Amino acid sequence: MAKKSFKKTYKFAAYTSTYITLFLTLIMGVFFYVEGTMSYWWLFLFFSISYIFSFFIIQNRVEKFIYKRIQKIYNDVKLLDATTFSPQQITTDMETLTKQVERFAENKKLEIETLKIRENYRKEFIGNVSHELKTPLFTVQGYILTLLEGAYKDKAVRKKYLQRANKGVERLIYIIKDLDMITKLEAGGLHLNREDFNIIELVQNVFDLLEMKAAKKNISLTFDIEYEDSIFVNADRERMQQVLTNLVENSIKYGVTGGTTEVSIEDLIKNKVIVRISDNGEGIKEEHIPRLFERFFRVDKSGSRKVGGSGLGLSIVKHIVEAHNEKIYVESQFEVGSEFSFTLEKAK
């Protein structure tokens, strides 16, 4: 059964048989010459028989040798599953066989490295989720236990503690909603309702929505120029509002008091525009930039967290932009400011 599965190549057997037969025929020719009984017919017959016999013996032995040795390697090395290297791939051409084994080994090495990266990412993700959920859960539990221990008798304390516990629950709901959103985005289960809309109007809506939050830090929300004409794009309006809200809100959170958040919309190519959100906030260190869009990654590693949020905002932004088949970019200089930008398709 094993023999039938070989991919037979005869190059090695043919060359080797030729060398052996020529050598034997040369010896036989010298013998005939010395004896004085030179017969070219018998020499040709000897050559033919020797070649055929050598060819079939060598081919058969090489096939068995290669098959048994390769099978033994894969049976001994448990890490490499022999079933993934099917017998149909086994060949008597050593060069081809070597390349196949090398390619197989490289693929397995890549798979192992990928699994290690995923395992590290999984551990980090679980740790981050635990950390994000732990704080509001303990807060809610603390207020409820305090009330159960007798604080509920004081009406003023009861109301205050219930309100604080409610804020903790709201934060939990906020994190879970973001987790649900990013799960759908990563699974490709988010349906986009594309439509043509005025991106200038949408940005202004986001400014109006975050005006009070910006006012608390005396941060100005502004366009780079006064846009007299509308700029229509084709995208999911609700999701784009979520993208803009997250990016502008981040610029407010990490912005300096009395700073500015500026939005600009520029033509990129014939059918694309690029939306830029820039600020003069605290900026981001260069080593943190490659990880900005990872789930739960925060530049602020302190346990207290200077700002709130689920830690999923930028990851959601990236997934929404990429779901539109667009690109998102970030440029930042520490203690100078940051600029996030993404492309959008123009309305036709």
- For the record, the structure tokens of 170 come out as 């709201």
pLDDT at residue 303, as a whole number: 42
Report whether pLDDT(301) > 70.
no
- 21-46 average pLDDT score: 82
Report whether pLDDT(207) > 80.
yes
Tens digit of pLDDT for each residue in 114-169?
Answer: 888 777 767 766 766 776 777 788 888 888 888 888 887 888 888 888 888 888 88
Within 8 A by CB and 6+ apart from 309, the residues are: 253
Which of 29-43, 131-145, 225-239 is predicted most confidently?
225-239
pTM of this structure? 0.57
Tens digit of pLDDT for each residue in 250-287?
Answer: 899 888 889 999 999 998 888 899 999 999 888 888 88
What is the number of alpha carbons within 13 Å of residue 126 lying toward its C-beta? 5
Q: Which segments of the chain are extended strands (E)?
A: 194-198, 220-223, 232-236, 260-269, 272-279, 328-333, 337-346
pLDDT at residue 124, as a whole number: 67
- For the record, the structure tokens of 30 come out as 């010298």
- Cβ atoms of 171 and 311 within 8 Å: the answer is no
- 337-348 average pLDDT score: 91
- 8-20 average pLDDT score: 79
pLDDT at residue 199, as a whole number: 93
Contacts 24+ apart (CB under 8 A), 323-330: 323/185, 323/190, 323/192, 323/239, 324/192, 324/235, 324/236, 324/239, 328/293, 330/284, 330/289, 330/292
Top-confidence residue, 5 or 158: 158
